[in-house]
Amino acid sequence: MIAIIDYGMGNIHSVQKALESMGAKTIVTNKPDEIKASDKAVLPGVGAFDDAMQELKTQNLISALNEHIKSKKIFLGICLGMQLLFEESEETRESMVRLRSPLTLSAVEVSKGLGILKGVVKRFENKDNLKVPHMGWNQLKVKNSACPLLKDLADNSYVYFCHSYYPQPKDGRLIAATTDYGIDFTSVLWQDNIYGVQFHPEKSQETGLKILRNFVSL
């Protein structure tokens, strides 16, 4: 059973439909016990980093996520769902600046990611006439062909992106694929039972379905 975690921040039903087209049995849930009992878990995500972390806290889902991952069960983070795995995001600091908040730096830093992976989430710079958010089709440059998600996937395959931020792992060995958008950013990561994709496989046609098929078969 694959638990698709519903915390109000993702394309839940699109992900579910895509996984079920692969023959997977799924459950959409925000119940910690159902997440803990699942064989695999998927954390989708669309929206703001801080809002997502607040929803996970409010719904008491953080301990269930940690337990699922620490028990070596398969986990997939999609887009914001992958970013949340990291220690912190530049989105937090920038939102405080935009609001001209009187909060001190230490108060701003209270809002963190899950901290399961070492590293930060960074914002694309507005340079070289590149639009932010990065939206549309772009290519995957495979860096680690041993990554099970990328099995039988051709290098430079196209997938669909919609994001302004990207993860920057401290350990480069986590990077399974990158994508060029002014810089080479991490678009697929892999560490043991943890997988993450910055794009939306459920919107990436045949390439995305192949990646989800590989996930289901793990």
Catalytic residue chosen out of the listed positions 79, 88, 147, 163: 79
Q: Does residue 206 have an active-site annotation? A: no
Catalytic residue chosen out of the listed positions 94, 162, 202, 206: 202
Sign of the torsion angle spanned by Cα atoms 5, 193, 113, 135: negative
Q: Does residue 34 have an active-site annotation? A: no
Retrieve residue 96's tokens: 């405080």
- Determine how β-strand 119-123 pairs with β-strand 165-169: antiparallel
Catalytic residue chosen out of the listed positions 68, 134, 163, 200: 200
Q: Does residue 134 have an active-site annotation? A: no
The three state secondary structure string of 153-208 is: CCCCCEEEEEECEEEEECCHHHEEEEEECCCEEEEEEEECCEEEECCCHHHCHHHH
Residues with catalytic annotation? 79, 200, 202
